A and B are shown apart, each in its own frame.
Chain A
Amino acid sequence: MKTILIVEDSATTRALIRAVIDELGDVQTIEASSGFEALKLLPQQEYDLIITDINMPDINGLELISFVRNNQRYIHLPIIIVSTERSEEDKKRGMALGATGYVTKPFKSGELQDIIKKTIGL
C-alpha cells in the first residue's frame, strides 16, 4: 500500500486528484488544504509521494518543496507539482528546487496516473 499526500487549496481539485489516484488501486491518499497543513501532516507518517499545487495561501508549493528537499528525513521523497498553465515560471522554479515532475492543470486523468506510476513504481 502506497501513501500519497495531496497538497492543494481547492477542495474540488483535491477531490479530482483523489479520484484519479483511487483508480490506480492500492494507494491511499491523505489531503492537506494548505502548505501549512502539509507541514503538520508530514511527520505523522511515511509518505511515498507528495502531489502539490504551487499557489496556495500561507506556505506555497515552492516553500514546501524547499523544506522537503532540505530535510534529511524527506530528502528522497518524490514531489509532483500540479499547477496551472499560467504558472509556467513557478513550475520551472519548482523543478529547480528539486521537484520530481509536474502536471499542468487542467490535466487528463491518464497524464497524472502515468507520472504517478512512473514515480512510485506501481
Chain B
Amino acid sequence: MKSSKKEFIAEAEELLEESQRLILEIQDTYLTGLNPDTINALFRSMHTLKGVSGLFGVQGITTLSHALETLMDDVRLGKIDMTAEVVKFLFKNLDILKDITDRVSQDADEGDISAYTRDIESFRVSLKGRADGDSPLAQIDQAILKVLSEYEEHRLKANLKEGRGIYLAKAVFTLDTFDTALEGLTKAIKARGELISTLPTSENVPEGSIGFNLMFSSMAPIGDVREEVGYDLDTLVPPRAAAPVAPPVAAAVAEPQPRAQDTHLKSTSTTVRVDIEKLDRILNTVGELTLAKGAIKRIGVELVEQYGHNALVYDIHKISQTLERRLAELQDQVLEIRMVPIGQIFTRLAQIVRRYSREIDKQIDLVLYGEDTELDKYLAEEIVDPLMHLIRNSIDHGIEHAEERRAKGKKESGTVILRAYQKGNHVVIELKDDGAGINIEKVREKAVQKGLAEEGADLSEKEIIDFIFAPGFSTKDVVSDISGRGVGMDVVKEKLSVLGGYAEIETKKDVGTTFMLTLPITLAIIKALVVRVGAERFAVPLTSMSETLIVEHKDIQTIEWKEVYYLRGEMLPLIRVSTYFGFAPAQSDRSFAVVVGFGERKVGLLVDELYGQQEIVIKSLGDYLKKLRGFAGAAEIGKHEVILVLDVESLIDDTVVKQKGGAIYV
C-alpha cells in the first residue's frame, strides 16, 4: 500500500472510530436528553471524512460521507428528529463505511455505492417530510387531545415518534352489555397495537346505548387492523413503513479496535454510566426506608390512639406523610434511572441474526418494532439470553432453506420480527418468524416417547405445544451448531418465571411461529395484596392480579373435577390456596377470590381474608429454600414480620396445566 493511502486509512479509521463513539453516545442519550454538541460533532466528523477522502480521491467514501453529512445537517437543524430508527440507520451506514475503508486498505475496489447513497437520500427525505409541523400532535384533533391525561399524551407522542399509525375505532354498544363487548374490542386492539385512550360518548348514540372512541396505535396498515378489530376505523395518522434490516454486506466487517482518545479530554456528554449493582443497592436502601416509613406511620396511629390529637402527634403525622411522598418520588426516580430502551438489546440480537444467518446460509430479514419500549436494565439483561435462544431456534428450525421456501411458494428470505410493547404493567416481547411452524405431530411423538403423555391421549394443540417447555424436551433430530448446546425451552420458561413473567406460543404449519414473552416492567419494590389463608398470611403481587371478589361457596361448581366459578358469564377455574399448601380448609360459607393471570391462564385464588394493599420488598428465599414451589420470595411487612410472596405463575402451572393435560410436572 502506498504511504499516502496508509495515511488516509489511518485518518479515516480514526474518524469512523470517533463517529462510532458519538453514535453510541446518541443512542444512550437520545431519549433522556440529547446534547446538541454530540449531533454537531457527528455532523463535523462526516464533513471531515468527506474532505479527507475527496483529497485522496477515494470517490465512494466521499459520496457516502457527503450524503450522511447532509442527513446529519438536517438532524442538527432540527428538521429531522433523532429517533431509534435514525440511530439504527447511522450504525448501519457506519458499518458500510468501515467495510469500504477495509476494502480500500486491502487495495480492493470500493464497490458500487450508489445503492447506499440512494438509501441515505430517500431515508433523509422520508424523515424530513415527517418532521414538518412543530408538534407531532398537530395532526390530531384537539377534541381528542383535550381528554388525554399527561401520560396518555406522552404515549401518543412516543407512538408518533416511533412511526406507528394512530387509529380511531368508533363503537356503539347497548348499555347492558357494553362491558363484555368493550372488553372484546379492547383485547382485539391490544393484539395489534397499543390502546392509548378510551373515550365514552353519548353523541350520535341512540337511547339505551353508549358509544366509545378508542384511540390506539399500530404499526399495521389500516386494512389489516380493521380486519382484526372488526370495527369501523378512522386513520388519524398513517403508519410509517418499516425498513427491514439490509442484507449483510458481502465482505466481513472488521471488529472496531479501541483507540486511545487523547484529542478529546473534555467530554461533551453530561451523562454518567453507573453500575446496575449500585442502583440495586440504592433501591434496596429505599426498600428498607419504606419499611421504616411504615413503622413511623404505625407509631403515629398508635400515638393518636393513646394520646389523642396533640401538637406533637400531629407533627409526627405530618412528617410521616411528607416522608411517604418523598420516598415514593425517590423510588420512582431510581426505578426510572434503571429503565433502558429495549432497542439496546435488540441491536445486539440483530448482530446475532446477521452472523448466524450468514453462517448457516439462510437469508433473514429482521424487522424491529418498539425499540423505544422501556424495561428495567436488569430484566433487559436477563431476558437477552432466552431471547437469543429463541431467535437461534427460529433461524435454525423455523425458517426453511431457500429452496424449500420457494417450493412452498414463500419468498426466499425468511422474516423474523422482533416487537416490544407495553401492556399495562408489563412489557411484551414478541418474536415472530414466517417459517415452517412447530411440527405438532413430532412434538406429540416425542412427548409420548419421553413419558410426558400417554399414547393416544386426547390433547389439544395448545397442550401439545406446551410440552416443549418441559425439562429436557427437544425434537431436534440433529443437534445443530447454533441452537443445540443443551439449552432447552424449559430454561427459557424457568428464567421468565423467576423474573415474574411467562411465555406463550402460537404456531401454524408453514405460516410460522410466534413467541410472546411477557415481563413486568420493573422488579424490586412491588405493590402486593396481603391475604390470609388459614393462619398464614401471603402477599400476592398486584401486577399479576386483575380483581378480587367474594365467592359464596354455594356458587362454586365442579366441572371435570375442577372447581369453577362463573364470573360475568365466563368460567373462572378456582385454586384453593389452602388445599394447595395442605392446610386444613376453613369452615365458612364464603371465600375471597383473587383473580390472577391473563387470558386462558386466568384463575381465582381462594383465600380466607383480604388485608389490603401494601408495598413490599421481595427478598430471595436463598439457595436453601429456592426449590420450594409456589413462592416467589419473602417480604417483610409491618412489625418485623416476614410473609411469603406467592409465585402466581407456578400456582397456575401446577393446578391448571396439571388438570388439563395430565401429569406434566411430576
- In the assembled complex, the Cα of A35 lies from the Cα of B147 at a distance in Å of 13
- In the assembled complex, the Cα of A90 lies from the Cα of B151 at a distance in Å of 9
B179-A97 in contact (CB<8A): no
Contacts of A93 in B (CB 8 A): 146-150
Given contacts A11-B612, A12-B613, A67-B201, contact A89 B321 (CB under 8 A): no
B612-A12 in contact (CB<8A): yes
Contacts of B197 in A (CB 8 A): 60, 63
A96-B210 in contact (CB<8A): no
CB distance from A34 to the nearest CB of B (A): 10
Q: Does B203 contact A (CB under 8 A)?
A: yes
B200-A59 in contact (CB<8A): yes
- In the assembled complex, the Cα of A73 lies from the Cα of B199 at a distance in Å of 17
CB distance from B613 to the nearest CB of A (A): 7
CB distance from A15 to the nearest CB of B (A): 9
Stretch from A23-31, A50-58, A114-122 at the B interface? A50-58
Interface size on A, residues (CB 8 A): 33
Q: Is the interface of B mostly helix, strand, loop or mixed?
A: mixed
A55-B149 in contact (CB<8A): yes
B146-A60 in contact (CB<8A): no
B612-A67 in contact (CB<8A): no
Contacts of A66 in B (CB 8 A): 146-147, 199, 201
One digit per residue, 1 when the CB lies within 8 angstroms of any chain A CB and 0 when it does not, for chain B 196-224 equals: 01111111000000100000000000000
- In the assembled complex, the Cα of A6 lies from the Cα of B248 at a distance in Å of 59
Q: Is the interface of A mostly helix, strand, loop or mixed?
A: helix
Given contacts A12-B613, A70-B201, contact A106 B321 (CB under 8 A): yes
Residue of B whose beta carbon sits closest to that of A62 = B147
A11-B613 in contact (CB<8A): yes
Q: Does A110 contact B (CB under 8 A)?
A: no
Interface residues of B in 85-113 (CB under 8 A from A): none
- In the assembled complex, the Cα of A5 lies from the Cα of B443 at a distance in Å of 55
Contacts of B10 in A (CB 8 A): none
CB distance from A69 to the nearest CB of B (A): 10
A63-B200 in contact (CB<8A): yes
Contacts of B202 in A (CB 8 A): 67, 70-73
A97-B152 in contact (CB<8A): no
B179-A40 in contact (CB<8A): yes
Q: Does B337 contact A (CB under 8 A)?
A: no
Q: Does A47 contact B (CB under 8 A)?
A: no
Given contacts A55-B151, A97-B146, contact A67 B199 (CB under 8 A): yes
Residue of A whose beta carbon sits closest to that of B212 = A59
Residue of A whose beta carbon sits closest to that of B186 = A58
- In the assembled complex, the Cα of A61 lies from the Cα of B203 at a distance in Å of 19
Q: Does B424 contact A (CB under 8 A)?
A: yes
Given contacts A63-B198, A67-B200, contact A89 B612 (CB under 8 A): no
Q: Does B276 contact A (CB under 8 A)?
A: no
A97-B147 in contact (CB<8A): yes
Residue of A whose beta carbon sits closest to that of B547 = A33
Q: Which of B146, B149, B424 contacts A96 (CB 8 A)?
A: B146
Q: Does A20 contact B (CB under 8 A)?
A: no
Q: Does B175 contact A (CB under 8 A)?
A: yes
Contacts of B203 in A (CB 8 A): 70
Q: Which of A43, A59, A61, A106 contacts B175 (CB 8 A)?
A: A43
B149-A54 in contact (CB<8A): yes
Interface residues of B in 24-70 (CB under 8 A from A): none
**Besides the contacts A63-B198, A65-B147, what 8 more A-B pairs have beta carbons closer than 8 Å?**
A36-B182, A39-B210, A58-B186, A58-B198, A60-B149, A66-B199, A71-B202, A97-B147
Chain B residues proximal to chain A, CB less than 8 Å: 146-152, 175, 178-179, 182, 186, 197-203, 210, 321, 325, 424, 612-613
24 sampled A-B residue pairs with Cβ under 8 A: A35-B200, A39-B178, A40-B178, A43-B175, A54-B149, A55-B151, A59-B198, A60-B197, A61-B149, A63-B147, A63-B200, A65-B147, A66-B199, A66-B201, A67-B199, A67-B201, A67-B202, A87-B149, A89-B150, A90-B150, A93-B149, A97-B146, A97-B147, A106-B321
